[in-house]
Amino acid sequence: MNKEFNVAIAGATGAVGIEMIQTLERRNFPVKNLRLLASARSVGKKLSYKGVEITVEELTHDSFKGVDIALFSAGGDISKEYAKSVVDAGAVMIDNSSAFRMDDSVPLVIPEVNPEDIKLHQGIIANPNCTTIIMLVAVNPLHKAKKLKRLVAATYQATSGAGAKGMDELLVQTRQALDEKPIEPKFFAHRIAFNLIPHIDAFNANGYTKEELKMVNESRKMLHCPELKISCTCVRVPILRAHSEALNMEFAEDVSVEEVRAILRNAPGVTLVDDIANKSYPMPLDATDQGNVLVGRIRQDISRDDRKGIDMFISGDQILKGAALNAVQIAELI
């Protein structure tokens, strides 16, 4: 008889929490009992799981008695506040916030990249930043084959990465712009409709944002390459869902476009979309609601005198693979 697990979702009414519920159902995770937890204002709300209405309960320190796996997507402060209660109750916390990602005692895991790190957990496993997940699912197979030395990334991040308020602001401002009405930014630092904002999260003293440094530091941790050279520019773009990234990579060994395609064609979590003759390449609309990362526009870096450089473009659903799906895949490995 297959074992079943008591699962709790903290932050169940948010976009990622709802996606977690749907992902558990879609992947037929062996759930015995599902407990949906949120703040007091959401108590009593009903959410559907496998055709059954489950009432949302208030998240408290006593919520984890009898729970085996607790999926958290309620923000870093909440994760820090409740971590001890989860672990003391004997559950494993899979945390979607940045609270524990760079904690040396907490494994940071993408199942397609470093599943072996899960066994090091002491009750908490961290889910990486969404842009890092999407990038490393595509980059890791190449790193394993040719050893990555340097990576430069430019991201094109959807407003959903900033939550429901970000998406709402894009929709409201787009209507205002089309109706030629005045636009006053309320959530983003600047107007997002028909614009790009090269600013995601707070700026660091070195001019990089926290989002950009997350990609640098998290990649080094998961690839176990503390000296890996990475530089990122993260940009908010006026679309609703799915992030894209332009990647320039330098490898220790020569690599051809044909080799890259062959490696990625068989890579877990990757869908190769690379047929320029038929105008086929990764786009966020196509990546939306897809569990895999789309990879294409693969080409040799013509700025180099050797064959160690590759450029490519990727798109991935940051709410799904970049958050909920990755967390559920970690639970499956547990």
Q: Which residues are annotated as catalytic?
A: 130, 243
**What whole-number distance in Å separates Cα of residue 271 and Cα of residue 257?**
16
Q: How many CB atoms lie within 10 A of CB 319?
A: 23
Instruction: Let me know: does 7 contact 27? Beta carbons within 8 Å.
Output: no
Write out 151-187 in H/E/C secondary structure: EEEEEEECHHHHCHHHHHHHHHHHHHHHCCCCCCCCC
Are 296 and 312 a contacting pair, CB within 8 Å?
A: yes
Q: Which of 12, 3, 108 is nearest to 330 (CA)?
A: 108
Q: What is the DSSP letter of 120?
A: G
Contact assessment for residue 90 and residue 116, using Cβ atoms and an 8 Å cutoff: no
For 123-145, the DSSP string reads SEEEPPPHHHHHHHHHHHHHHHH
Other residues' Cβ atoms within 10 Å of the Cβ of residue 104:
6
CA distance 73 to 303: 42
Query: How many Cα atoms occupy the beta-carbon half-sphere of 182 within 13 Å?
Result: 2
CB 86 within 8 A of CB 22: no
Nearest to 295 by CA among 315, 280, 310, 322: 315
Beta carbons of 161 and 243 less than 8 angstroms apart: yes
Q: How many CB atoms lie within 10 A of CB 238?
A: 18
- Is residue 217 classed as helix, strand or coil in its secondary structure? helix
- The Cα–Cα gap between 186 and 269 comes to 37
